[in-house]
Structure 1
Amino acid sequence: MEIVGWIIVIALFALGMAGAIFPILPGALAIYAAFFVYGFMISFSPFGFWFWTLQTLIVIVLFVADYAVSAWGVKKYGGSRASVIGSTIGVLIGPFVIPAFGLILGPLIGAVIGELFTGASLEKSFKAGLGAVVGLFTSTVVKFILQGAMIIIFLLWI
């Protein structure tokens, strides 16, 4: 049972790290779920109040930072709330509509369309789109680091 537990934990860690790059995957939640799989299939004894508090805080920071960093990128480049919404929609549907490049083009196009809907010029809209891409890359780096920290803390804790 322990071997099966470890296989599931490792698979959830891999899914979680892939979720740092592909937003449709449940990144931090998959990693968090791996802790419960370990607990149910192997043992909850290594985990205590501080482990759960630290991991939960990281998950909360991840969710807040994911949105805030992406929005920051759009805002820094002069975008409005409409371009933030457009880029978010683009991140979610881009990879399905444009398989090879949708992860980058989705937020760019979504932010441009969102900004154009507000009546902004094409130049300002494109600038907001670039901000969405910058925000996406920055957010991806932050997620990758924090989710990696979650896994490292788990491994050190057990």
Structure 2
Amino acid sequence: MEIIGWIVAIVMFVVAFIGLIYPIIPSVFFIVGGFLLYGWIVSFEDMGWIFWIIQVLFVILLFGADTLANVVGVKKFGGSKAGMWGSTIGLLIGPFIIPVAGILIGPFLGAVIAELLFSRTGLKQSLMTGVGSLVGFLTSIVTKGFVMLLMIGIFIIFIAI
């Protein structure tokens, strides 16, 4: 049963990392789902309350990092709330309109269009906001990927010890 537990957990972890690129997939839920399914199939014995407290803190960090990276990226490049909303909407819609490149083009165009329409900034500033949204998104991917690796590493340590 342990082999099946590991296979299921690894599949869940892989889907979580795919979620870094396709934000419609809730990465953090797949990571936690991998822990829960492993525990259900094999045993929760090695995953005590300290393990779960650590993981809950990482989950909170993941949600915060995602939002914060977008806000900081747009703000650092002079964007407004409209740019942040446009970036978020573009991030969700982009991959569906342009399957692979939409993940990068969507937030950029969303921020630029929102800035042009609602903030009445010039084209140059709107483009800078688009760049900021892209920087924020890429920073978010790296940060979340690192935190997810930490979560999985802690899981392995608790299971192995």
Shorter-chain TM range is: over 0.9
Q: 1:58 & 1:20 partners in 2: Cα distance? A: 16
Amino acid in structure 2 at the alignment position of 1:15: V
Tell me what 2:132 maps to: 131
Q: 1:15 touches 1:26 (CA, 8 Å); kept in 2?
A: no
Q: 1:88 & 1:132 partners in 2: Cα distance? A: 9
Q: 2:64 & 2:100 partners in 1: Cα distance? A: 28
State yes or no: 1:154 paired with 2:128: no
Note the C-alpha offset of 1:9. 0.8
Q: 2:66 & 2:21 partners in 1: Cα distance? A: 12
Note the C-alpha offset of 1:33. 0.8
State yes or no: 1:40 paired with 2:40: yes
State yes or no: 1:7 paired with 2:4: no
SS in 1 for 2:78: coil
- Identical counterparts, % of pairs: 47
Amino acid in structure 2 at the alignment position of 1:141: V
Note the C-alpha offset of 1:29. 1.1
Deviations 1:12-68 (A, max 9, x none): 010111112221111111001111101111000001111000001001110011011
Tell me what 1:103 maps to: 103
Deviations 1:121-140 (A, max 9, x none): 11111100000000001000
When the two structures are superposed, what TM-score results if normalisation uses the length of structure 2?
0.95
Q: Which runs of 5+ in 1 are unaligned?
A: none
Amino acid in structure 2 at the alignment position of 1:78: G
Q: 1:132 & 1:125 partners in 2: Cα distance? A: 11
Q: 2:156 & 2:100 partners in 1: Cα distance? A: 34
Note the C-alpha offset of 1:2. 3.2
SS in 2 for 1:40: helix
Tell me what 1:20 maps to: 20
Tell me what 2:114 maps to: 114
